[in-house]
Amino acid sequence: MPNDPERPRRVTVEPGGPVLVEGPVEVVGDDGTVTTSRRFAAAICTCRRSRTYPWCDTSHRRRVKKGEETS
């Protein structure tokens, strides 16, 4: 399990994207609400645009007009 003195919990910051935190993890909101993820890693939204906040839902992605490369 992560987060013992020998093996600190790893946090990865994605430039322009979420912060990836090794799970399980609890996120405490502004109002004190606690949200839990039991996944091996949780992607925490930093752009505040997520509709599933505090979890990333890829809303940070760049938007392009038609004609540019899209999926």
Partner 1 sequence: MTTTMDPRAAATARPLLPEPRGELSGAVVRALRGGDLGPWPATVGDPYGDDLQLALYLLYELHYQGFDGVPDDREWDPALLGARRTLERRFLDALRADVPHDGDAEGALAGLLVEPVGHDENSVSHHLKRDGELWQLREYAALRSLYHLKEADPHAWVIPRLRGRAKAAMVAIEFDEFGGGRPEEIHAQLFADLMTDLGLDTTYGHYLEAAPAEALATVNLMSLFGLHRALRGALVGHFASVEVTSSPGSRRLAEALRRAGAGPAAQRFYDEHVEADAVHEQVVRRDVVGGLLADEPHLEADIAFGVHATGHLEDRLGAHLLRAWRQGRSALRVPLAEPPTTTG
Q: Which is nearer to partner 1, 48 or 66 (CB)?
A: 66
33 binds partner 1 (CB under 8 A): no
Q: What is the dihedral of CA 43, 60, 32, 22, to 10 degrees?
A: 10
- CA 1, CA 22: separation in Å to the nearest integer? 9
Amino acid, res. 24:
P
Selected range binding partner 1 among 3-11, 26-34, 61-69, rule: CB under 8 A: 61-69
48 binds partner 1 (CB under 8 A): no
Selected range binding partner 1 among 1-9, 25-33, 50-58, rule: CB under 8 A: 50-58
Query: Given candidates 18, 25, 28, 47, which one binds partner 1 under the rule CB under 8 A?
Result: 18
